Structure 1
């Protein structure tokens, strides 16, 4: 086991903390061991095979409209897997990511949501448009965010690894965002455009590694041209007060909750 791991704790270096603050994201190597990823993988694949029930639009395609047949999904998206499989709550990934989130963002961070994102093989349209996560969310006084993106498979340029536009987190305003497929009632995905001077950087990572990004850095990913899946497991940590405000507003990150504002926030918030 890496000398950076001590039980539930993961040591983030001073250089990594500074990089995260400056550029809006950071690559942390070996957050989980191969055995730890393997333990999560069995449940992960049960979600993909639909052996764990996820109702409504919390199981959807992030690369198309809600009307696609699941067999044709390009990016299988499962929102809130820890809700639909409670045994996953408190798993080693959650615990170790919480340690790193505290070091990157300070005390008082809590899990806001989790998510599964699996790009199916040979899906060139399995693309995430450039976006900033804050465009999806309501305004809150404390916007501190550490979104962990765990590679279940080696994540490469060929299968659609994460890409970032470094330092866009330090721009005064968010870029304008628009729905990518019809309107928000037809598809969840928002996107924005690159501008002159933007310098996108692909960030390939290995199985068990994570990228961590904040709420304002522009990021996206390309399609999957390989014969294998590109599986990712996302956990987003935000300030405890922010999570409480979101829930008071009815913002749960689920499409299945009465009064949820998931489909209303984003387009309205693009001028923030």
Structure 2
């Protein structure tokens, strides 16, 4: 197998300056107002996590996956779709597992500006140990960029439990309605089925944006009022694993490239005897840990 960066559980490049003093972690904490906003709406928008220079550095690695239908070290990726929709007029590059391949995608997983807020939001403001789940790339080229159907992330992740997960969507380009920014449904993180289960997935291939309407209750349809998550380059949105979100196609002259990081609280266990990610087997009921699920933040580091 190709060299696998998942065996290294600390930054290895120059994407950001390492923390030198324990007190430095505190500057990345969210305010009480931001935490309240997240738990009220199910998401938090416009949190600056990268500088423009850092975005450009990451985009250099991004091009490796955009310009190759068979990217290098593909055996390390969990998934790679040069166009997941299969429609040449609605192109969506989608990739998982790239943190195992390039330095910048590896190191962004450990960014203090990301992992400290993640820790707080997983436990309603309290700092807890956080593990990495998996990463994603979503790229929508100008004019023909495809959409992503409305969904809840935990609908794809019930192979783990309990539901103590978080998604961080980082804009590497300015995102607007015109180029396919994420949209959220405020309050939809309370929408469940059968005693707390997530909504079923209605479109695995990102072709039918509005397919979710077929499974919503009348009350949910009334509350279905999308909010565009406009982000500037380097800003992130943090969202709850049950927050309903999706994104329309890109018909603008600008690209829309995003890096997505998914985390869970230390202590989450496997809920299946099948693969969790390609090549990753943890028996049902056993704790999620090992090379692929490193601790990225621990409150004891601040003490």
Q: 2:165 aligns with which of 134, 145, 161?
A: 145
Pair 128,59 (structure 1): closer, same or farther in 2 beyond 3 Å: same
2:44 matched residue in structure 1: 26
For the 8 Å contact 2:192–2:199, the answer to whether it is kept is: no
Pair 139,167 (structure 1): closer, same or farther in 2 beyond 3 Å: farther
Looking at structure 2, the residues matched to 240 and 15 of structure 1 have their Cα atoms a distance apart, in angstroms, of 25
2:290 matched residue in structure 1: none
2:231 matched residue in structure 1: 205
DSSP 3-state at the match of 2:270: helix
For the 8 Å contact 1:148–1:234, the answer to whether it is kept is: yes
**Cα shift at 1:91:** 3.5
For the 8 Å contact 2:273–2:281, the answer to whether it is kept is: no
Matches within 5 A, 1:1-272: 10-50=28-68, 52-55=72-75, 58-61=79-82, 63-65=84-86, 74-85=91-102, 88-91=105-108, 94-106=111-123, 107-123=128-144, 126-138=146-158, 140-173=160-193, 174-181=198-205, 192-193=212-213, 195-242=221-268, 244-245=269-270, 249-252=274-277, 254=278, 257=279
**Cα shift at 1:134:** 1.3
**Cα shift at 1:246:** 5.7
Pair 8,248 (structure 1): closer, same or farther in 2 beyond 3 Å: farther
Looking at structure 1, the residues matched to 78 and 132 of structure 2 have their Cα atoms a distance apart, in angstroms, of 21
For the 8 Å contact 2:109–2:132, the answer to whether it is kept is: no
How many residues were matched structurally?
Answer: 241
DSSP 3-state at the match of 1:29: strand
Which deviates further from its counterpart, 79-88 or 145-154? Answer: 79-88
Looking at structure 1, the residues matched to 132 and 274 of structure 2 have their Cα atoms a distance apart, in angstroms, of 17
Looking at structure 1, the residues matched to 241 and 151 of structure 2 have their Cα atoms a distance apart, in angstroms, of 10
Q: Deviations over 1:139-184 (max 9, x none)?
A: 54421222110000000100000100011111342334323559xx
For the 8 Å contact 2:57–2:104, the answer to whether it is kept is: no
Pair 140,228 (structure 1): closer, same or farther in 2 beyond 3 Å: same
**Cα shift at 1:239:** 1.8
Looking at structure 1, the residues matched to 212 and 64 of structure 2 have their Cα atoms a distance apart, in angstroms, of 33
Pair 176,142 (structure 1): closer, same or farther in 2 beyond 3 Å: closer
2:286 matched residue in structure 1: none
DSSP 3-state at the match of 2:121: helix
Pair 85,73 (structure 1): closer, same or farther in 2 beyond 3 Å: farther
DSSP 3-state at the match of 1:37: helix
Bigger Rg, which one: 2
Looking at structure 1, the residues matched to 253 and 110 of structure 2 have their Cα atoms a distance apart, in angstroms, of 27
Q: TM-score, normalised by structure 2?
A: 0.70
Q: TM-score, normalised by structure 1?
A: 0.77
Q: CA RMSD in A?
A: 3.1
Looking at structure 1, the residues matched to 271 and 103 of structure 2 have their Cα atoms a distance apart, in angstroms, of 21
Pair 9,146 (structure 1): closer, same or farther in 2 beyond 3 Å: farther
Which deviates further from its counterpart, 95-104 or 218-227? Answer: 95-104
Pair 42,93 (structure 1): closer, same or farther in 2 beyond 3 Å: farther
- Structure 1: gaps of 5 or more residues: 1-5, 261-272
Which deviates further from its counterpart, 193-202 or 214-223? Answer: 193-202
